[in-house]
Structure 1
Amino acid sequence: MTATRIEVRAEHPYDVVVGRGLDGEVVSAVGDEPRRVLLVHPEVLTDRAQRLGDDLARHGHAVHHAVVPDAEHAKTVDVAAACWSRLGQAAFTREDLVVGLGGGATTDLAGFVAATWLRGVRVVQVPTTLLGMVDAAVGGKTGINTPEGKNLVGAFHSPVRVVCDLDTLATLPAADHAAGLAEVVKAGFIADERILDLVEADGGRAARDPGSAVLRELVERAIAVKAEVVSADLREAGRREFLNYGHTLAHAIEHAEHYAWRHGAAVSVGMVFAAELAGLAGRLPAGTVARHREILGTLGLPLGYRGDRWPELLEVMHRDKKARGNRLRFVVLDGVGRPGRLEGPDPALLEAAYARIALPA
């Protein structure tokens, strides 16, 4: 089947390519110019990285590998510094290039390393997880974590191309696949109700099947939502903030769990919380609040979090990038496809919403 190309209009336009058997797209995206390529990947993808590296070497590139820790453990200043050292030792110039091969954390790191080396070199993103394809690798937001919170250090740095090879999803663990679907569902709630309809049509079975035509459509629709928003608001001055639906509480949960939770699982809980918050504020109908639980639950995603962690979560949320001064700001819905903001909500309202999702310790 022909690959689908979705354009993102950023500081330079680039394509997100969706299809199967797309290694040639990576080689094409790297092009002929770079002498050196840094291939950033976790150890679990060593075989895939070696094949890709061999392809690039056959096209005349000197390939250097940076093997990084898995998941969020890759997103630290120490790991970034190790990558900078590799670049320096190999004498990378502004004409050379970084490739990020892996999940969303790997592409976040690779993008940040590219953004900061010589004040910016090119990067090609090759996400290998559903979450990476529909969210992290698209849009040019890069970053690392600090002990104080997630993604507090980063840069906007758009890739040359994003290559989403759906064949890589065949070996993705079911829990990781479900976590990626949380970001797909998010796109449905904020912008494209057809996504929700597709998931609901068969109780989520086709969405959970990495080989299904429905999953491909879901991926393409979720990417199209992000591409449209990013093209209109590259640096998160307005509409792009709506892509953070569910993320304020999600990032706090991830911090509380020392990043042992999957990002999409935390986003699922965060969306349910945001829906309950909007419902209690009189902005979202009860049926749409319930729809959050029904769709996310049918995909096997969590719907609540420990009740005793609320004080800790509230403290972390005050350090969230969307906070202004001491005022919390949440992305909420006024209906499907109608995102908005709730600024400085009453603490009692927040506590009441959290009580709706609170689980026993």
Structure 2
Amino acid sequence: MTSIINVNLPQQSYEIAIAPGSLEQLGQQMANLNLGKKVLVVSNPTIFKHYGERAINSLTSAGFKVVSYCLPAGERYKTLNSIQKLYDIALENRLERSSTMVALGGGVIGDMTGFAAATWLRGINVVQVPTTLLAMVDSAIGGKTGVNHPHGKNLIGAFHQPRKVLIDPEVLKTLPMREFRAGMAEVIKYGIIWDAELFAQLEASKNLNQLRYVKPEVIDAILTRSCQAKANVVSKDEKEGGLRAILNYGHTIGHAVESLTGYRLVNHGEAVAIGMVAAGQIAVALGLWQQEDTERQNALIQKAGLPTRLPEGIDIEEIIAALQLDKKVKAGKVRFILPTQIGVVKITDDVPSETIRQVLQGM
């Protein structure tokens, strides 16, 4: 069964296609887009070992001329040095403006490939083929691309929408448990910011921290409802002029935690989970949210096998200082996304530093 979700944008609309076994159809799907024949497949060694040959065979069978390149796995390699390597491959193989970069991997590969495509020859095609739950429900959709700066996450980037997002749920079979749980953080986020029904469905589901035991219909709901939520928000606000900022729920403090721990101690989803717990408590402290609701959120985060406390040894004052480097700072004020009920959040620039400090001290 194939689910098609449309991301409707003024300049370039595109489809998110969710279908088991669709990796074998990558070449035909791209041929239908009338793209140029030169393709660069970007992956990491682990993902390429599992799926690289299948992707390349599908592309060559559809008449594409394919080269591939693997970047090291891990957030700490999401740098301009890695992008330079992609530029070198693009130059060596004479990629043109009609050419396409295919991101075969998780969020790190998707972000870097998208950024390289956005900036090579001032913009060439990119197709996202996410292989992690986090990338499927979040980072592959919406056109945010970029790399990290030593002092902050995703400070260097560009908006560059994909021509298509192709999601094959079967590739999740090789996803490590920790990475599945990381993806669940973004799924829970959609429940809090947009889809109370999804949140309730997750509360009623069992074994959310064990991919192999999650029922297929639950995986289907996770993918389709999360992708639809992201598509709805992006269609209304492509470049984060207003509404799209709600997608950053949990990310403000989460990004600071990631950065201060060198992108090694906690992964993105774990950091977002910690950030959601903090944001929930800030909302309670400001009288925006009920304690009962934050307890429901935190219980679901724990049920998904995600952390709810800060890593040991992290300096709270360093977190508060790092918040000033966040991309969403406006006129020196840190923008927070705070829940008012499950399924509804508000954007606020008026959170006292002392409130943030007190909440973090309690974590």
TM value normalised by structure 2:
0.95
Structure 2: which 5+ residue stretches go unaligned?
none
1:183-332 to structure 2, matched below 5 A, reads 183-205=186-208, 208=211, 209=213, 212-260=216-264, 261-305=266-310, 306=312, 308-332=314-338
Structure 1: which 5+ residue stretches go unaligned?
none
1:116-131 to structure 2, matched below 5 A, reads 116-131=119-134
Shift of 1:207: 7.6
Letter in 2 for 1:312: E
Aligned to 1:13: 13
Shift of 1:7: 0.4
For residues 61 and 346 of structure 2, the distance between their equivalents in structure 1, rounded to whole angstroms, comes to 50
Q: Counterpart of 1:334 in 2: which secondary structure?
A: strand
Aligned to 1:30: 30
Cα distance change, pair 175–238 in 1 and its aligned pair in 2 (3 A): same
CA deviation string 1:18-73 (max 9, x = no partner):
12000244213321542210000001122311221122122222111111011313
Shift of 1:210: 5.4
Identity of aligned residues (%): 34
Q: Counterpart of 1:142 in 2: which secondary structure?
A: strand
CA deviation string 1:265-299 (max 9, x = no partner):
10000000000000000000111111111100111
CA deviation string 1:213-242 (max 9, x = no partner):
111111110111000000000000000000
Letter in 1 for 2:220: R
For residues 74 and 352 of structure 1, the distance between their equivalents in structure 2, rounded to whole angstroms, comes to 34
Letter in 2 for 1:242: I
Aligned to 2:147: 144
1:24-63 to structure 2, matched below 5 A, reads 24-31=24-31, 33-47=35-49, 48-63=51-66
Letter in 1 for 2:20: R
Letter in 2 for 1:40: V
For residues 302 and 313 of structure 1, the distance between their equivalents in structure 2, rounded to whole angstroms, comes to 17
Cα distance change, pair 207–191 in 1 and its aligned pair in 2 (3 A): farther
Shift of 1:211: 5.6
For residues 346 and 110 of structure 1, the distance between their equivalents in structure 2, rounded to whole angstroms, comes to 38
Match for residue 68 of structure 1 among 68, 71, 87 = 71
Backbone CA RMSD of aligned residues: 1.5
Cα distance change, pair 61–203 in 1 and its aligned pair in 2 (3 A): closer
CA deviation string 1:119-170 (max 9, x = no partner):
1111110000000000110111111111111110111111011011100111
Contact 1:206 1:215 in 2 (8 A): no
Q: Counterpart of 2:228 in 1: which secondary structure?
A: helix
Aligned to 2:91: 88
Q: Counterpart of 2:241 in 1: which secondary structure?
A: coil
Contact 2:335 2:348 in 1 (8 A): yes
TM value normalised by structure 1:
0.95
Cα distance change, pair 6–274 in 1 and its aligned pair in 2 (3 A): same
CA deviation string 1:310-350 (max 9, x = no partner):
11111111110111132111110111122112313222111
Aligned to 1:4: 3
Task: Name the count of aligned residue pairs.
Answer: 356
Contact 1:199 1:206 in 2 (8 A): no
Letter in 2 for 1:5: I
Shift of 1:202: 3.4
Contact 2:115 2:157 in 1 (8 A): yes
Shift of 1:111: 0.6
Letter in 2 for 1:80: I
Contact 1:112 1:154 in 2 (8 A): yes
Shift of 1:212: 1.8
